[in-house]
Amino acid sequence: MKSLSPAPLEPIEIRKLAAVLPLTKTAKIAIKTGTTPEVFLDSLTGFGVTRQAIHAALRYAGHRTRKVRSDRGRTLKVKIETLLEEAKALQAKLAGQQQSSASN
């Protein structure tokens, strides 16, 4: 048996829904039907809704609107590891200086 999935909403349908429903519910319905966020954004920006409100509604509906970091935090890990190595090197240098001053 084939599963029937709803067709993506057209921009005019999104505008009709936005006129009678809260923006968050409209976003949930649009995402469930397979409407792309770009179509949702374009249709409501022309309707007079701010981009900030549209992105907030999409986030509320469970769609990630910002791009995922390509390095997934590896840059931060490298910076932390570098700082730890520098701290260890400074500790070793300080320990060496203390030993040389104690022997004098």
Interval 2-41: pLDDT, tens: 445 678 889 999 999 999 999 999 999 999 998 988 899 9
Candidates 56, 12, 65, 16; CA nearest to 36 is 65
Separation CA 16–CA 26 (nearest Å): 10
pLDDT tens-digit profile of 37-91?
889 999 998 778 899 999 999 998 888 766 656 666 677 888 899 999 999 999 9
pTM above 0.85, yes or no: no
Per-domain boundaries in the chain: 11-60, 69-104
Separation CA 58–CA 41 (nearest Å): 9
In the numeric block, which tokens belong to residue 16? 């009709």
Candidates 23, 19, 33; CA nearest to 59 is 23
